Structure 1
């Protein structure tokens, strides 16, 4: 301070002296603000924290656009339509059972099941809005609590790395992290709109889906509707799935940025395509690693029991694998709902493959056809299979004449 006073002793007036001392403190990093660098670091962290709060508010909002009660002006027309549709379906079932009463017990069981399922469907229609609203609040509270209580979550680690990370003083690392957070606002907004519109659509469609139970207890459409709705509501937890990999960052802002982008991609994938099911692939990979690294028979038996060998039959159909896009998923759900009412959906003509796709498919099948031909020629060269002994063969008046090696002639 003595040096500061001697440096500013030439100031004649008090205001000029105060300005000189303030400039001296800022230039030497003193004072409460920590200098220009410290203030900028605090501003970056505050901005990142505000962006993270906005992302959490968009991904898991406390309030949804769906109606809160059955007497809502938006939900009441669908409830009226669903109840009358359930009663109409039940009347049709009763009429059919009455016309076919000569069949006895099966028709009585069908009419009893239809009566019980109709009452359950009508009662369940009124409880859907309240149940969905309570579940949405529970998901939002659980998601917020998980992120605020655990220090190993992605957003908490990003905030800590901005202050204590290994590259906290690297401007490029901070720029990448803040840019990734800003870019993450776009997927968060997309998830917000998709979730709210999807939940609204599924809640309004609930009476029509539940009315299909009156036909006799066909729960296929209800299960499909429930799984789609739960997939939309629980998609925010995709951000927690990357928490086990956060410890690998070791205070690196660049790795935190990569994990944030991966979490955004996984969340969008769960919104549009459901939960990825990669368990069998991981199990087979773990079995391969264990069999290559160790010769212990007990370990081999354990991994083979967890991931057994699966053999494909030679004549089994081998359709090409496809991923359910949102359009294809909606088309399938519509078919399930129509089938629950007994309406067969008109099958559209399958799409024709392009020349490139047909050539690739033919190349894939050529290798398999060559292997099958080689195996058959090897079996023929080794000789025909042994014929059964006369004692084991069944007695018959006259055996059919054989036209080939071990194969009876066809009429």
Structure 2
């Protein structure tokens, strides 16, 4: 049965806010449809409507003044379609499902995804719609695993975009502008194991003496910093790859106890380290499913620069360290392989992702962001669509050469502007 409630106020468990609590949703109504047909009726009958996922976005990408829809009440289970030769297949995932619900289903059947974000608490649709990524020189973002979508357009029609559909490359990273995704297909592969080793003592000079070699030292590599120094390096190696040893890792030494990237934070919420082998889904994320990810009380920003400009971009940020460090909990550097998804931050070339986990002081963080963006502007920085940034539509259009194709796609899928909001006006600009 379709449930409609007024969006509750912030406070208590803060159901009217995003995950970080820095945004209170303005919608007059929150719907939890119990079927796709009910969802279609809500969408077709609403002047303005947006879908909510795990709410792990730090800006107003999913905000609207009229109707919000939560998809956790829709029926359906994860459906696996293995290929006949056992080399992989497609997982069809309900629109409201989180990675934490999908991963055990794949693992128990001996399958894996190619990459995961640092936390499994987020929804599959929300992560792929914003270009969320994971790490690895040869690993595309989570969005590159998408093989199909089912979307309710603003006229209420359910549209299917299978693999090979000409609209799919533009629809994967969609920012919620095309419709409400009810089902998403992901490519999977045979399972694999990973071991995580944390290294300390890496210097900036050694890091950038051969940055490509550092980033390519294992399947997934994350470099943590406070912009004064490199604080840790998390090296996640597949067990079927050559083992990384302390002597081999660019002068850094292996930590001898489990180590959190945020000093003073309990290590129990982290996945296992110390080179202990484990299944892919128990190592590629930094955080365990059953615990609060990261510090919990934080804001986030992230920018992507072409990997060839990585050292220059980091040098520019290091010069801002006295301004950044007082507001920072930690920064993380990760590489992401190129793709050709229209609004993917890695569209057109390999990128270095520069991530900032901030203290929960939004006023001061927002005041600092223009300085960071100015420092990164010479390198063509693209912000993460789901995090805090101030870059506007004109500059983003220059950063995304295929933005006109995306705008044309939005005009076709949402001609009446039901999925438009302030966020899209600021970032994508005019659709007319």
TM range (shorter): under 0.3
Structure 1 or 2, whichever has the larger Rg, is 1
Q: Provide TM-score, normalisation by structure 2.
A: 0.18
Q: Provide TM-score, normalisation by structure 1.
A: 0.18
User: Counting helix residues as a fraction of each chain, which structure ranks higher?
Assistant: 1
